[in-house]
Chain A
Amino acid sequence: MAGTSHLHLLGSKLNLAHLLEASKQDLVRLLGNPDKKKVIVWDSELIAPVGMIADVQFLREHGVSKMVRLPVVDLTKAYPDEDEYLFLIRPQLGVVSGVIEAIRTSSNKHNKKFTVIFVPMKAPHCITKLEESGLYHDSKGPIQFFVDEFHMEMLPMDHDVISLGLNSAFTDMYIDNDPTPLFLVAKAICKIQALYGIIPRVFGKGKKAKTVSDLMERMRREMFSNMTPEREVAPHIDTIILLDRSVDLLTPLSTQLTYEGLVDEIYGIKHNVARFPRHTFSEEFQQKPTKAGAAPLSPQLPILLTSEESMFVEMRDLNFASVGHFLSKEAKKITEAYNERHDAKTVSQLKQFVQKLPHMTAQKTSLSKHTTIAELIKHVTDDRYFLEQIYAEQQLREEDFSDRACEYIEKCIGNLEPIAKVLRLICMQSVANSGLKPKILEYYKRNIVQAYGYEHLISLHHLETAGLLRLQGDKRVFPQLRKQLKLIPGTVDDKEPKDISYVFSGYAPLSVRLVELFEKPQGWGTFEEVTRALPGPPAFALSQPVSKAQEKRQRPTVDRPLIVLVFFLGGCSYAEISALRFRSQMEGATTEYIVGTTHVTTGYSLLNSVLTQTPGFMASRLWDNQLDASDKSGNESTES
């Protein structure tokens, strides 16, 4: 479980720890009387996210004496001394069945209290299922049974990133048209506004963005109308930009080439934790100070990746090409620092040196850790298999593929390479050419169903619904945007980047280019003009009334930058976060970006989320052959 020190949330102009505090308060309310002993029954998926808010110690202080995961049977027998049983679950039918089973099989239900807590909110069909289960009564009479909600709508992932952790948001929004994620986003933004003040300016593009801004307006009227002006918080955030993912589908499909992006692409980062094969790491990572007789170490080593670690802060946003150079520089620095001990002659000099020791040791551990990770990644990226794909992606983004099939894709199909990879490339071709000619689309589709099975007709159908795959329309927007926004700037220096295009080694993410427009005078006008050709209704701008005089503030300066919250509806990638960070940290930058997103995604997880709706599809890692074989079995193991 990730630690609950909130250091990683500090360091930006906006203290995101307030967000955690709000959730923590809600949790305290749910836990209730700390004197009552309780058991928490977890939906395994929630352990990590809730763990980011409250650690074991905190839960213990509020009366939680035992924790267990679903599925479980006969709770009251297993934990007879506890008075209350809290189920923390997501609103999913399968999970609810587990809860019903756990309670139904319990032998001694009276004098006990059962509470089902949905995170982040109840779902009607789950409630119906609970009601139909007949748990509210048994032969001996009514049972103390309650249903509640834990409004953990969002999690600050880092000092400048807020995620709602809605991993299925993309498919929910673009395939099912489910209104739920948008409602949750609007609620989250409302909560942000309650804590950090009304955001005076709202910009957005895309149909979903419009929906969210309408909901925001509505909720603002509902929530803030009865607040006395004295209680209103002065605005901390100046602007919010709502970006509908459908505005830029190319970026999430592209393979990220930043350090953090590649970790996510290859190993996957979940709630700031990535898991690596343990044996590849040096001695110090092998043994955890656990008590004797504890369970054997999992073959996977979980590593927390947040800005709490100073070395990671410096390297997370780097293009991977410069990571090696960075690490060797760091190694040199540490060696030099150690060597200073020889120069320490006087006691005070020695004392100075000793004071630096803990920091140096931490740096050394970091260095060893990241060197190993970098080696693991390099192993993948040096492979022909990877390089060919990157090359193909570059080709697809840069060249006109409107009336021909891509040879590399054909080759992949012939080799029956993972379907997620193939479809990802086909979708890239479709998006980068604003759709495919009927002949080519049908050619691809036919090949896919014949090579991978006819069931993938469903996959293709979903991709078309989501707009990832489509027939070419009259206007070819993308090539025009490519020129207009300099998406492919030509020369890129990966080591000393001058432009955000370094995150994809030569492609500047469209989404971030659009955001950049606002840094210039007449930004809104340009934004409106540029995005006119993009799908969805025209871009919108509105201002929200702010009671205090803060509205008219001076021109932003380096010391008092404009704070802009960029909210991605439908997910964003680490590369985009890195690109925005790059803008915030540029010399003379007068804008600081905070990223909000439904979830953090990669092209691979995006495709997988679509494909899992196809019968018989089993997700597998793209670079499976590169990974340790023991990984697959290790998926189940987690530590708490």
Chain B
Amino acid sequence: MDKGATVAEIQSSATVDWTPLGDIYVKKYLNYNLDWQVNLAENHVSISPYGGPIAIFPRVVSKKQGVSKPVITIYTQAGKVISTIPWGGGNIIGLGWTSSEHVVCILEDGNMVVYNIYGKHLYARILAREIRDDRVLECKFFHTLEGSAGFAVMTNKYQFFLVADSDRSKDDIRVKKLADIPSSTSKPNCWAVLPVGNQVSVTVAIHDRLFVLDPYEAVLQTINCKKGGSLCWVELAVSPNGKAVALVDQDGYLWGGSSDFKVCETEFDLQSRSRVLQLQWGGKDFFVLVMDQLMFVKGFDKHWCKYHLQEPCFLLSEIDGVRILTNSACEFMHRVTSPSLAVLRIGSMEVGALLNDAYKEYEGDESHKADEYIRFVKDRLPEAVMQCIKAAGEEFQPPIQQSLLKSSNFGKGFLGPDIPSDVVNEFVEMCHQLRVLNSVRQSSIGIPITFRQYYRLSTGVLIDRLINRGLYPLAMEICKYLKIPPANGEVKILKEWALRKIQDVSLSDDEVARQIIDKFNGSKVVVSFAEIARASKAGGRKPLAAMLLDHEVHARDQVPMLMEMDKVDIALDKAVESGDPQLMFKVLDELKYKRYHSQMDKYLQLFHHRPVAAALYRKLCKEVDQEQLLNLHRQESDFLEAGCLQFAQSFRQKDPEQQRSSLEGAVKEYKDGQHMFHLRVAEEQGKLSKEQAEISRKCGIRVTGESLYVTIYETTQFQCGR
């Protein structure tokens, strides 16, 4: 803020561009001067709402260019080129934006082609066979209040098709055919999409008749209008909330009212038969018409105002106003809202205005006057402070914002310790939000979003849009500043940054990997390397994927992908490192049944030098597959374990034959391993059980299964008894 300027001086500029329109004021504000050398008259123009990007495509491809193909150019609203898309496809009928700011081109042949903001081709698809057969005649895009975006097309047979959500993936795009207009073969004069919630429909005007089309029926509407004589509607516009429509007929008769045409809010004779070129709503409060060299603004009552146009212009309706784009400027016209009116309107006696005046006096060293004003508003001071805070939010110019915040802060000072917490919160919140808004509005970024639009869009979506435009550092700063949880902020930004980085084919794999690893490891948050690796792999950069995957901390993400990439050994090692038995088993199981199904030897070799994996496998085998366990011991030349396993088995078996063979197996293993004590014990067990059988048979006493001592004892007892 300029040190010399007083609040009074600064604020005096706040109201200069207010124009009264009956009960309301409208304000036209110049966001950016453009030096982009674009003539709107010669181009298709599409602006994405909420301060979004602009797509420009020549209406007529000049033959003079000859060699060079026509291009779709994408600009910020400040006129800075974001990207260019060389166009070699068919005839573009419509150009528009999805809710996540992808460019959609609708071609005459019924194709829908989608690019991202950098001009990367995402996909192309035929909308529907009927559309392809009949060709597209017109196309209109729309955005709903809920944040989704779509479009409707009209074919040469005057049939309408609707895509309610154009942000879905290629195969999820649903094209709905709307009901045919009954008994009509003439071309509709004008039409528009009514974006009301989930029930998006299309309003069509044919001469004097109005229809609303949905997938099931076409309903003829009766319009509540007093004009006598013949009607022939030529322009039709729907307000952003879908609740109101404006119509113009060929005689310059303007009708504004509810979208079911039953309630008429305003009727007006423009007294001009010159063609209405554009008709758009400014929020839900007024409408703007563009005629030859004239822009005509009209509210709901009889008041109006007009602006002369030196150059072609393009209008886009926003939720709280209208974006006006000309060859040289990007402007925004909106209704002055009640907090601004209360505080800044000349002669306002609202408490906010008085508080503002108090501060002006205080700053001008007239503290006794300031005191008087404060005394005046004393009882309603919280309200006054709130008004000033809210008024600050409406302003585009930082000095005015600051001056209003100073006034509110001044008022806050008088509230003492009992200051309501919502006032404090509102103040802090507003300071935060204005800082964010001012940073995205600067012309290098070029998102002239208003406070209301930002509020409706939400911080999350704004950050998504910054990410989408590759404005990673700014997005990062905002997230840190607003303390957004890493999952929705920092992590997401780093991830998207990396996903874009891996598409950069001008850099070598090593270079990309180095950059990503440095960035990720240098940050305090943990970003999934596995996700980036997966994308690299899908994008055909397998070596890069491997390099990135190596840095993944979460084994549960890392290991399955290593398996996919055929890095079996590393996968097993990483699973072992993680200590997670479930993960280890998953790898072992997959290897066993998918890879080494018929090569058990090879499978068992995996356990060489992997004692932990081997132990886990042994443990599992112990429960489910003793045979396999024996194989494993043999593979490892662990004679002792192999012997003990069989020795133990011999005691579990009921059948004497099996017992003997297990025992023999054990003896063999012990012998091979030179375990002499075990060998002797196993041999003795063989002899003992033979003897026991013999004793049992001869003497009729049961000694089977008893120990040597007990057997001897029982036998001697028996003999003594005899």
Contacts and interface: CB of A to CB of B under 8 A. Distances in A.
B38 interface: no
Nearest to B491: A226
B647 interface: yes
Contact of A453 (B487, B677, B707): B707
A422 to B, nearest CB: 13
Contacts of A128: 589
Given A122-B582, A179-B612, A183-B581, A450 B707 contact: yes
B586 interface: yes
Interface stretch (B20-28, B48-56, B212-220, B613-621): B613-621
A215 B611 CA distance: 17
Interface string B557-575: 0000000000000000000
A186 B579 contact: yes
A451 B709 contact: yes
Nearest to A92: B623
Given A124-B589, A179-B612, A454-B681, A226 B553 contact: no
Interface in A226-253: 226, 228, 230
A125 B624 contact: yes
Interface stretch (A12-20, A308-316, A424-432, A455-463): A455-463
Given A222-B553, A455-B651, A228 B688 contact: no
Most chain B C-beta atoms within 10 Å of own C-beta, residue among A178, A186, A445, A614: A178
Interface in B590-644: 611-612, 615-616, 618-620, 622-624, 640, 644
Interface string A440-474: 00100110011111110110010000000000000
Given A124-B585, A178-B616, A615-B652, A458 B647 contact: yes
Contacts of A461: 640, 644, 678
A93 interface: yes
Nearest to A211: B579
B263 interface: no
B685 A454 contact: yes
Contacts of A337: none
Contacts of A585: none
B516 interface: no
B579 A454 contact: no
Contacts of B678: 457, 461
Contacts of B682: 454, 457
A632 interface: no
B366 interface: no
Contact of A178 (B491, B577, B578, B619): B619
A52 interface: no
Contact of B615 (A121, A122, A176, A446): A176
B609 to A, nearest CB: 15
Nearest to B709: A451
B708 interface: yes
Interface residues of A, number: 43
A451 B525 contact: no
A221 B526 contact: yes
B648 interface: yes
B706 interface: yes
Interface in A393-451: 416, 442, 445-446, 449-451
Contact of A183 (B579, B615, B620): B579
A126 to B, nearest CB: 10
Contacts, number: 115
A464 B533 CA distance: 47
Contacts of B380: none
Contact of A616 (B524, B640, B651): B651
Interface in A330-349: none
Interface in A607-632: 614-616
A176 B582 contact: no
A228 B623 contact: no
Contacts of B554: 222
Contacts of B589: 124, 128
Contacts of B618: 176-177
Contacts of A222: 526, 553-554
B482 to A, nearest CB: 12
Contacts of A615: 648, 651-652
B483 interface: yes
Given A221-B553, A614-B648, A179 B708 contact: no
B485 interface: yes
Contact of A445 (B624, B652, B677, B708): B677
B244 interface: no
Contacts of A180: 581, 616
Interface string A172-205: 1000111110110010000000000000000000
A444 B531 CA distance: 60
B709 A179 contact: no
A454 B684 contact: yes
Nearest to A441: B677
A77 interface: no
A445 B682 CA distance: 13
Contacts of B644: 457-458, 461
A457 B681 contact: yes
B343 interface: no
A458 B646 CA distance: 10
A290 interface: no
A124 B582 contact: yes
A409 B428 CA distance: 80
A453 B706 contact: yes
A30 to B, nearest CB: 18
B35 interface: no
A222 B527 CA distance: 10
A128 B593 CA distance: 12
Contact of B708 (A215, A228, A442, A450): A450
A218 interface: yes
Given A124-B585, A615-B652, A225 B616 contact: no
A132 to B, nearest CB: 11
Interface string A37-78: 000000000000000000000000000000000000000000
Contacts of A218: 553, 577-579
B553 A225 contact: yes
Contacts of A449: 681, 707-708
B647 A93 contact: no
B283 interface: no
Contacts of A616: 651, 705
Most chain B C-beta atoms within 10 Å of own C-beta, residue among A416, A450, A614: A450
A189 to B, nearest CB: 12
Contacts of A230: 483
Contacts of B576: 179
A360 to B, nearest CB: 52
A221 B580 CA distance: 15
B283 to A, nearest CB: 38
B398 interface: no
A226 B526 contact: yes
Interface in B10-64: none
A436 to B, nearest CB: 14
A535 B205 CA distance: 91
B716 to A, nearest CB: 15
B486 interface: yes
16 contacts: A93-B624, A124-B589, A125-B623, A177-B612, A178-B581, A179-B584, A225-B553, A226-B525, A228-B485, A416-B710, A454-B684, A455-B647, A457-B681, A458-B648, A615-B651, A616-B705
Given A172-B619, A450-B707, A455-B648, 19 more contacts: A121-B582, A124-B582, A176-B622, A178-B619, A179-B579, A179-B581, A180-B581, A183-B579, A183-B580, A215-B579, A222-B526, A225-B525, A225-B526, A446-B677, A450-B708, A453-B707, A454-B682, A455-B651, A461-B640
List the 8 closest pairs (A to B, CB-CB), nearest first: A124-B585, A177-B615, A615-B651, A225-B526, A454-B685, A453-B707, A450-B708, A215-B579
Interface of B: 483, 485-487, 491, 524-526, 553-554, 576-582, 584-586, 589, 611-612, 615-616, 618-620, 622-624, 640, 644, 647-648, 651-652, 677-678, 681-682, 684-685, 688, 705-710
